[in-house]
Structure 1
Amino acid sequence: MARALRPVGLEFAETAPLRLVFETEAGAAPEAVYRALAEDVPGWPRWFRAVTLARPTHGGAGREVRLMGGVRFQETIMAADPEWRYAYRADETNAPGLRALLEEWRLTPAGSGTRVRWTFAADGPAPFRLALTAARPGLGHAFRTAVRTLDTRLTTGRA
């Protein structure tokens, strides 16, 4: 059953009780990576394997996201700045233990490509935070694989 999460602001990316931060580089230009993140929301399942459905809601101000395993989120877009950042807050989920969640994608030029940094900022009871910390290697692998897949799609024109 879905339940409401605590609303948080953009500062939560820096102040959350649990912050998992991952970085990697893509060969595609920042503008192309941003378009894939923020403007082609339904395209996420093509490059982020854990995502089974993503669609904009509320005229583009929100998102509905479903993950493998049946986890669902209703989200609010918190920042959509093509120059460097895309962030969203989870407002409702069926994920157990989660009290608050904000994800932030920061893009910076890196040579002819893009440096991509993903911050997964969350709050929940101690057992939840411990489990998420233990899942860090898997989340990092999923992130790097997703960015690599996205980059291949963007640089070969298969986006």
Structure 2
Amino acid sequence: MARRLHPVELDFVDSAPLRLVFTADVGAAPATVYRALAEDVEGWPSWFTAVTAARPTAGGAGREVRLVGGTRFQETIMAAEPGARYAYRVDETNAPGVRALLEDWRLTPAGAGCRVRWTMAADGAAPFRFGLRLGRAAVGRSFRDAVRKLDLRLASAPA
């Protein structure tokens, strides 16, 4: 059963009770990575293994995302800064124990490519927070694998 989450703002990325932050470098320019994140929403399952389906909603102002295991998210795009930042807040989910969730992707030039920094800012019941802390290494692996696959996908895409 889907539940509404607290409607946090962008500053939650810095003030959340639980923050997981991961970085990885890719060979593509920030603008190219941004397009894959923000404009090719349906393409996420091809590079982010945890995502089974994704589609834009509300004329591009939101997203609907489904994860392996059946978790569903209805999201609102909070920041869309081409080549620099893409952030979204989860408004509704069937995941238990979550009270608030915001994800923030930051892109900065690094050599010939860019550095991708992903922050998952969360709040929830104690078991949720404990589980997320316990699963930090797995979430980090999932992120690094996804960015590696995205990098390969972008490198093989026609110019």
TM-score (norm 2): 0.98
- Report how far residue 158 of structure 1 moved: 6.8
Alpha-carbon RMSD across the aligned residues, in angstroms, is 1.1
Partner of 1:90: 90
2: CA distance, partners of 1:29 / 1:9: 28
- Report how far residue 83 of structure 1 moved: 3.3
Residues 76-115 of structure 1 aligned to structure 2 (within 5 Å): 76-115=76-115
Residues 144-159 of structure 1 aligned to structure 2 (within 5 Å): 144-157=144-157
Deviation string 1:4-39 (CA, Å, 9 cap, x unpaired) is 000000000000000000001001111110000000
Q: Is 1:15 equivalent to 2:15 in the alignment?
A: yes
Deviation string 1:47-82 (CA, Å, 9 cap, x unpaired) is 000000000000000000000000000000000001
Q: In structure 2, what residue type is equivalent to 1:63?
A: R
Aligned structure 1 segments of 4 or more residues deviating by more than 2 angstroms? none
Partner of 1:53: 53
Deviation string 1:82-114 (CA, Å, 9 cap, x unpaired) is 131000000000000000000000000000001
Q: Taking every aligned residue pair, what percent have the same amino acid on both sides?
A: 70
Partner of 2:69: 69
Note the residue ranges of structure 1 that are not aligned, 5 or more in a row. Answer: none
2: CA distance, partners of 1:134 / 1:107: 27
- Report how far residue 125 of structure 1 moved: 1.4
Partner of 1:122: 122
Figure out how many residues of one structure are paired with residues of the other and give that number: 159
Q: In structure 1, what residue type is equivalent to 2:83?
A: E
- SS of the residue corresponding to residue 69 of structure 1 reads coil
Q: In structure 2, what residue type is equivalent to 1:70?
A: G
Residues 34-53 of structure 1 aligned to structure 2 (within 5 Å): 34-53=34-53
1: CA distance, partners of 2:83 / 2:44: 20
1: CA distance, partners of 2:105 / 2:82: 11
Q: In structure 2, what residue type is equivalent to 1:11?
A: D
Note the residue ranges of structure 2 that are not aligned, 5 or more in a row. Answer: none
- Report how far residue 126 of structure 1 moved: 1.5
Contact 2:17 2:122 in 1 (8 A): yes
